[in-house]
Amino acid sequence: MQMRSNPYHLPLQHLKDITDNFCDDRKLGSGGFGVVYKGVLQNGNMVAVKKLVMSTPKSQNQFENEGDLLMTLKHPNIVRLLGYCYETELIYVPYKDKFVFAQDTQHLLCLEYMPNGSLDNYISDAYVSSGLDWHTRYKVIEGIAFGLKYLHEEATVPIIHLDLKPPNILLDENFVPKITDFGLSRLFHQNQTIHTATYTGKFLYSPTAAVTWR
């Protein structure tokens, strides 16, 4: 796998190889619909592989929405999409007292690896004694603000994240923050007004602008 400037399709077998067939030892975390694994390339570099595990129409739409948006985003404070995989394979499954072949479509995203994990690891009570110093905190806050400014004002079409919270802020080796998890995000055209009748993010972290765009 070569690091190219634009995301490209990756074979499913390659993603299995670099994650040791998605083994539990490589698991970095999990969310509502997906699990993230650490992938190790032949040259020793690491990537993050996000795998859709709960395949419903809603989860597929959110997963594909995230991939489509990340394809268009390029900013130092937005997690970088390296590649993607939508591939169907035949699997052997039980059906009416026998085993049959069935088609199983895999949805995966390959993202840049963030060795320092997510922001919530450093601001929760469990980490209060080993949290971030004030200089690093300022850098993290500033980076998040730059990332949001890019999404709202500088992207080709403005984007509302709709699920911004500490677990969705990842930190690289230098504690540069990267906004991630765009499954709920929406494009905002200038002639639109948004009123969220059904809101799907965590309301505790939902900014007023995400509920009603003014």
Please give the backbone phi and psi of residue 23, each rounded to the nearest 5 degrees, phi first.
Answer: -75, 155
Tokens read off for 70: 């990340």
CA distances from 155 to 101, 122, 136, 159, 180 (A): 44, 29, 26, 7, 15
Query: Catalytic pick from 25, 68, 97, 163?
Result: 163
> Is 68 designated active site?
no
| Known binding positions | 51
Annotated binding site for ATP: 51
46 contacts 38 by C-beta, under 8 angstroms: yes
Indicate the DSSP class of residue 31.
Answer: -
Query: Which residues are tagged catalytic?
Result: 163
